[in-house]
Each structure stands twice: as C-alpha cells, then as structure tokens.
C-alpha cells in the first residue's frame, strides 16, 4: 500500500460540507499544490452498490472546478440510472448522478480489493486533474449518527429523509460510530506536523469537523503542531447559510455565535476569523467578511485566514 507524497510545508484545511469545500477552493488559488485538505468522512454511506463519500468528493469537485450549480455532484451529470431504478419501483431517496455513481462504484471495488481509502481519494483527485491532496482522517470507516425522535438515524437518512418529512427535530445525541477503533493516517499526521498553517473551514463544527477530531490522533496532532490553527466561523451576520447548524450547536450546549464555535474546538484554536466583533479568551480574533459568494470572495476569505495564521506564526518566532 503506497504512501501519499505530501508538500514539505502545506497549508492544511479541515473541511466538511459546502463551506469547507469553498474555502479549500479559495486556498487553492493562493497556495496551489501546497494545499492538503482533510475531509470529513462521517457522512459516508454504502448505497446503490457504491461507497459514497460526499465531503471528499465535494472538495475534489470544487478543486477541479467541476462542481454542479446545484452545489453538489459533478457539473452536467445525468441521472439515467436513478430514473431507471425508480421505474423498477426502487425507493431512490439518495440521488446520485451517473458519473458520480461510477466514481462511488469504483471506490467500493477498490476498497474491496484492499486499497486504502487514502489511496482511492488520491486516485480520484488525479483523475480529475487535482494536484492538491484530499485526505480522509482515517482509512477505517467512521460514521456519524444522530439521535432524534427517540431513535438513532444514520447521518444521510437523518439529513435527507428525516429533515424532509417534518419540521427540524430536537437533536438528542450525536455519535461517531467506528471512531474509537480508527486511527489517523500517517499522511494526516505528517501533514499536520509539517504544516505552515492549519485552517478549520466554515463547516458545521459538530457534524462536519467533530467527526475528524474524533479520530484518535487527530486532536493530539493539532495540539502538538507548531503551525497556527485558525478557524473560519460558519456564521454570516449571525446566521447559518445552509444546514441545521443551529440544532447541533444547541445540542452541544453552546450559543450560535463565534464564541460558541470556539468552545466546541476546546482549546485547539490559536485564531478565529469572523464577521462578529467579539472577544474569545485565548484566541486571536480577526474581523472580516466571511461570505464566500464567488471566486474573489473565496480567495479573500482564504487570504484573511492565512494572513491571521502568518501573523500568529510571526509572533511565535524568536526575535
């Protein structure tokens, strides 16, 4: 099993969901091939004969400039297979484009053949012309589960089926199944240890970043790295742009603001980029526009985050 070559001093982005993928695309404009993205795999699901890995694929499609205008999947994909399954009477609650499905079927086959998930994600990135590295936190499966309505839901069923059926429920608990027996990959540990900066994307801190941090070795590596760890708050004007972040922050027992986000990261952060004017004890806060509406604003947020990291690194350097 081949190790994945990494840059000497990468910028490492922890990413999940659209916010993390957009930020990664902005960082790519600034640092090019020196980018390493550690993408959440807690959303992964086996379905339609394939292994779907939504966040690593979302990042890859964004980095390849092949993201569809829907905000997920490959641009201009077709849905012939899903339509055919419906015609056969299947309950197609998880929709995948044809080329997207091909990617997922191949991933399942490669894993069955004994390949590491790390290797397969690297193969996928190369196939789409992406030179930056997209890494899973662990090669072992880690799956997010959500307890609501007094039952446990697999993450995709909760997000797609439950949230479409009725008003957003009270989140009673969150678990990361498999995390206790997983381990951070050598590539993840090397990337964090050698990083110039670590940027936590503006992702849902509970369901997009916490599954990464739950993998044994990741949190410890972030505490030990000499690189500044900077987060971009996932709130714009105090509001969530997409997804049930508010419900999960409430479950976590924190306010829906920059301080609440910092509390979830529990001492890992050196800096925080936010559009709020706020003090966070022990964390350097920089105020900036964090809305990423287009390529220019994505690059601007990335530049502000890296600028904060560089300032913090300079303050640590001996005179």
> Tens digits of per-residue pLDDT, 147-179?
999 999 999 999 998 887 777 788 999 999 999
pLDDT per residue as tens digits for the range 221-278: 999 999 999 999 998 888 777 777 888 999 999 988 999 999 999 999 999 999 999 9
Which residues are CB-neighbours of 311 under 8 A, at least 6 positions away? 284
The reported pLDDT for the residue numbered 1 is 60
68-89 average pLDDT score: 95
| 159 falls within a domain | no
Q: Is residue 170 part of a domain?
A: no
User: What local confidence, expressed as pLDDT, does residue 285 receive?
Assistant: 96
Residue 66 lies in a domain: yes
Q: 29 lies in which domain range?
A: 11-143+176-316
pLDDT (tens digit per residue) in 123-147: 999 999 999 999 999 999 999 999 9
What per-residue confidence (pLDDT) applies to 87? 97
Q: For residue 156, is it within any domain?
A: no
Residue 304 lies in a domain: yes
Helix/strand/coil (H, E, C) string of 38-84? EECCCCCEEECCEEECHHHHHHHHHHCCCECCCCCCECCCCCHHHHH
Q: Is residue 168 part of a domain?
A: no
Q: Residue 311 maps to which CATH number?
A: 3.40.50.10680
Whether residue 158 lies inside any domain: the answer is no
pLDDT above 80 for 280: yes
Q: What is the per-residue pLDDT for 12?
A: 98
Q: Which of 52, 117, 123, 39 is nearest to 82 (CA)?
A: 52
Tell me the Ramachandran region of residue 241: left when phi exceeds 0, alpha when psi lies from -120 to 50, beta otherwise: alpha
Q: How many structural domains are present in the chain?
A: 1
Check whether 305 has a pLDDT greater than 80. yes
In angstroms, the CA 191 to CA 5 distance is 10
Question: What pLDDT sits at residue 27?
Answer: 98
pTM: 0.96
Over residues 80-86, mean pLDDT: 98
Asked if the structure places residue 129 within a domain, the reply is yes
Q: Is 9 helix (H, G, I), strand (E, B) or coil?
A: coil
Q: How far apart are CA 99 and CA 125, in angstroms?
A: 14
C-alpha distances (whole Å) from 54 to each of 46, 57, 158, 270, 300 are 11, 5, 15, 29, 26
Which among 4, 7, 11, 5 is positioned nearest to 227, based on CA atoms? 11
| Residue 317 binned pLDDT confidence (cut-offs 50, 70, 90) | low
């Amino acid at each position: 099993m081949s190790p994945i070559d990494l840059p000497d001093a990468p910028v490492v982005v922890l990413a999940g969901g659209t916010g993390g993928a957009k930020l990664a695309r902005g960082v790519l404009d600034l640092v090019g091939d020196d980018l390493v993205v550690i993408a959440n795999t807690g959303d992964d699901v086996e379905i339609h004969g394939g292994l779907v890995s939504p966040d690593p694929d979302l990042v890859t499609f964004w980095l390849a400039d092949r993201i569809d205008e829907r905000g997920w999947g490959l641009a201009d994909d077709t849905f012939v297979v899903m339509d055919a399954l419906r015609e056969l009477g299947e309950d197609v609650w998880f929709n995948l484009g044809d080329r997207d499905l091909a990617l997922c079927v191949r991933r399942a086959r490669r894993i069955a053949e004994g390949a590491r998930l790390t290797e397969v994600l690297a193969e996928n990135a190369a196939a789409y012309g992406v030179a930056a590295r997209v890494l899973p936190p662990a090669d072992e499966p880690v799956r997010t589960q959500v307890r609501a309505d007094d039952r446990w839901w697999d993450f995709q069923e909760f997000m797609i089926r439950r949230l479409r059926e009725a008003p957003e429920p009270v989140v009673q608990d969150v678990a990361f199944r498999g995390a206790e027996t997983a381990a951070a990959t050598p590539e993840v540990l090397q990337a964090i240890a050698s990083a110039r900066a670590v940027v936590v994307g503006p992702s849902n801190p509970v369901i997009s970043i916490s599954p990464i941090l739950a993998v044994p070795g990741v949190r410890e590596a972030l505490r030990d790295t000499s690189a500044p760890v900077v987060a971009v708050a996932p709130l714009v004007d105090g509001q969530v742009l997409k997804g049930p972040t508010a419900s999960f922050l409430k479950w976590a027992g924190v306010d829906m603001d920059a301080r609440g986000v910092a509390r979830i990261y529990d001492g890992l952060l050196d800096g925080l980029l936010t559009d709020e004017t706020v003090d966070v004890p022990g964390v350097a806060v920089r105020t900036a526009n964090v809305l990423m509406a287009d390529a220019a604003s994505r690059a601007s947020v990335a530049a502000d985050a890296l600028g904060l990291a560089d300032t913090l690194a300079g303050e640590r350097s001996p005179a």
